[in-house]
Amino acid sequence: MINFRRLKIRGSIFFLFPLVAILVACAGDDEDAECPAPAPIGICPPTAGAGSPYTFEKPYFFPAPQLPGFNPMTEEGVELGRHLFWEKELSRDLTISCGSCHAPANAFTDHRTFSPGVGGALSRRNSMALINLAWNTSFFWDGRATNLEQQILEPVSHPDEMDLAWSEAVSRIGQNATYQDMFTQAFGTPCVDSVRISYAIAQFLRTMVSARSKFDKARYYGEAMLTPAEVRGLELFLAEGGDPSVFPGGQSGGDCFHCHGGALVEFTDHQFRNNGLDSIIIGDFGREEVSGLGLDRGLFRTPTLRNIALTAPYMHDGRFSTIREVVEHYNSGGHDSQTLSPLMKFPDLGLGMSEQDIDDLVLFLESLTDEEFVADDRFSDPH
């Protein structure tokens, strides 16, 4: 019998070990298919088999999600993750939790250009919406994390965010009797480490599925109808940009679907693009900071447009306050630079959409708001 209390060594270097011991846990071709990313190895015993399996409710029109085999979802794991997501003990001064910057009412963003961390330090980039993460293939604006478990490890210890050493985070959580019970239920033993914390939060985040917007109800469920203006906005969304009398192939549209999903399901192509925000890129090189490739300068992840009306301000630096400003940016054609996406076809010229076009396109984008998702009690603060 292991005495897990003896493992709770405050500040022990052992608790730091999982953060650096990123090993490929998958072995064999068959397992690779279910385990597309490296799984972190923690100090706690393996978790598989503990808890009651969680039934992931996939909207029928979505593809199969990315549920890693190394972190099977359980009812208990999800509930533990929810508690940890809202846990202010995971910040140095006990003032903020993950939910502080990812509030449900704002589609899990915080309505700020940059998010204040512990001590008022500001994050470098705009808080990203937490929507349909089970389908994501990369995380953060620059995609530096390739799975959710890996992503979660960063904000807790980041000095501009929660600023808490993982050793201290593990110690705090491990000394809480309620959490000891919850970890036992979720993972089979009360052992706490950074990996288990990240696994539980990842399980919780994967339950955040948004697929019941007005648009979805109209298109996929037959429960609503889009207005004529919203339908026209959808048509503009799906149309090529450019006046056909000037640009062959042009359809006088908004050119949105190239990057935000012609399938009208995820509303992102999961790629990285420079969408013409600046002609000179300074300060934040985006994807280049991960890849080291000059080709990737100023490229950022294409965010989903689901719940976009709730996630202002927009872009990686939160420069636009309204959806209309965003659409006007694209209508302007954006600024040319050496890494501008070729799908921004008319830099400094513009798409030539009318004010009415912009109004209708905005209305369509607002129809992507999922009120049931943001009001879902399963995601609220349990503390």
Partner 1 sequence: MLKLNTAIYLAAGFLLLACNPDEEPEGIQNSKLIIHFDPRINNVSIQMGERLATPLNQAIEVSDLNFYLSDIALQKPNGELVQLAEVAFLKMRPSTNSPGQNWRVLEYDLPEGSYSAISFGLGVSPDLNGTQNPDFTTSLYDINHPLSESNGMYWAWESGYRFMLFEGRCDSVWQTADNLPMTFALHTGRDTLYRVLQPFPVNISSQNSPNNILNFAIDIDTIFDHEGQSIDLASERQFHGAYAQLPLGIKLANNSASAFRLLN
- Which residues make up the interface to partner 1 (CB under 8 A)? 24, 33, 36-38, 60-66, 135, 137-138, 143, 146, 238, 240, 244, 247-251, 257-259, 261-263, 265-266, 269-271, 290-295, 336, 338-345, 347
**How far apart (Å, rounded) are the C-alpha atoms in residues 91 and 125?**
19
Contact (CB, 8 A) for 84 and 173: yes
**How far apart (Å, rounded) are the C-alpha atoms in residues 211 and 169?**
34
Least distance in Å: CB of 215 to partner 1? 15
**How far apart (Å, rounded) are the C-alpha atoms in residues 4 and 191?**
6
Least distance in Å: CB of 44 to partner 1? 24
Least distance in Å: CB of 121 to partner 1? 27
Nearer to partner 1, 165 or 264 (CB): 264
Nearer to partner 1, 97 or 304 (CB): 304
Least distance in Å: CB of 122 to partner 1? 27
* Amino acid type, 117: G
- Name every residue whose Cβ is closer than 8 Å to that of residue 194 and which is 6 or more positions away in sequence: 15, 18, 19, 40, 42, 153, 156, 166, 169, 170
Nearer to partner 1, 92 or 297 (CB): 297
Nearer to partner 1, 258 or 306 (CB): 258
* Residue among 361, 300, 286 nearest 330 (CA): 361
Least distance in Å: CB of 200 to partner 1? 23
Nearer to partner 1, 269 or 359 (CB): 269
Nearer to partner 1, 137 or 184 (CB): 137
Least distance in Å: CB of 61 to partner 1? 5
**How far apart (Å, rounded) are the C-alpha atoms in residues 83 and 182?**
10
* Amino acid type, 65: P
**How far apart (Å, rounded) are the C-alpha atoms in residues 242 and 364?**
20
**How far apart (Å, rounded) are the C-alpha atoms in residues 170 and 192?**
6
